[in-house]
Chains A and B, each alone.
Chain A
Amino acid sequence: ETGVTQSPTHLIKTRGQQVTLRCSSQSGHNTVSWYQQALGQGPQFIFQYYREEENGRGNFPPRFSGLQFPNYSSELNVNALELDDSALYLCASSHNNEQFFGPGTRLTVL
């Protein structure tokens, strides 16, 4: 069984640019959640997708948006990047109230 995968592993962008992060969920999992983990902090919930629809959102501005595809893979898009967006972005797919995390994408905004 393939676990949750994310791409890319690392990314460097400059302020004002846009970025797309990708996540492939674990086989059979139809729910995907995204989290932002700033350095030295616990992960913070961004949003969740269930069967291609947004199913809950944390306290993040609209420039954070997402998509889920029919195969349950997902994208996180961030527009107008700010320095504070530098963080580890984690994707998790869900089954039976348990979330399985991918390795994360490390985004650095300069």
Chain B
Amino acid sequence: AQSVTQLDSQVPVFEEAPVELRCNYSSSVSVYLFWYVQYPNQGLQLLLKYLSGSTLVKGINGFEAEFNKSQTSFHLRKPSVHISDTAEYFCAVFSGNTGKLIFGQGTTLQVKP
């Protein structure tokens, strides 16, 4: 069975500092991996996705993630965060067999001035 573990429930960081949000997955088949952001009282917005090809994926708002098959990880990074990046971030794996996304529990990114 596929699963996703987000290793940090909360990540506090100062503005303009770099940040990494960690995600590990388990899957016995080829995976499609996603990061979504959720701002308060809103739905999910896609940040980036890995379907195939280059393991370094660039997304919106300056975020990037690296797919590491040997470590079964898909960590999200940003070199310099802004106050506006404060939100909930979800890592997800797509199950091709069932057509569903399996989400992690989420990581709250708190950017402080």
User: What residues make up the interface of A, taking CB atoms closer than 8 Å to B?
Assistant: 31, 33, 35, 40-45, 48, 50, 55-56, 58, 90, 92, 94, 97-104, 106
Q: State the majority secondary structure of interface residues on A.
A: strand
Q: Which of chain B's residues have a CB closer than 8 A to the CB of A106? A: 41
Give complex CA distance A97, B45 in Å: 15
**B69-113 toward A: CB 8 Å interface, digit per residue (1/0)?**
000000000000000000000101010101111111110000000
Residues from chain A with a CB closer than 8 A to the CB of B92 are 42
Residues from chain A with a CB closer than 8 A to the CB of B102 are: 45
B45 to A56, Cβ gap below 8 A?
Answer: no
Interface residues of chain B, those whose CB is within 8 Å of chain A, are 4, 32, 34, 36, 41-46, 49, 51, 90, 92, 94, 96, 98-106
Q: Which residues of A contact B104 (CB under 8 A)?
A: 42
Asked if B46 and A43 make an inter-chain contact with CB atoms under 8 angstroms apart, the answer reads no
Contacts A42-B104, A97-B51 given: A56-B98 contact, CB under 8 Å? yes
Whether A42 and B105, one on each chain, are in contact in the complex, defined by CB atoms closer than 8 angstroms, is yes
Nearest CB in chain B: distance from A23 CB, A:
11
Interface contact B99-A33, CB-CB below 8 Å: yes
Instruction: Name 30 A/B residue pairs within 8 A (Cβ), A-sorted.
Output: A31-B99, A33-B99, A33-B101, A41-B105, A41-B106, A42-B4, A42-B103, A42-B104, A42-B105, A42-B106, A43-B90, A44-B103, A45-B101, A48-B99, A48-B100, A50-B99, A56-B99, A56-B100, A58-B100, A90-B43, A92-B101, A94-B99, A97-B51, A97-B94, A98-B34, A99-B101, A101-B44, A101-B45, A103-B43, A104-B42
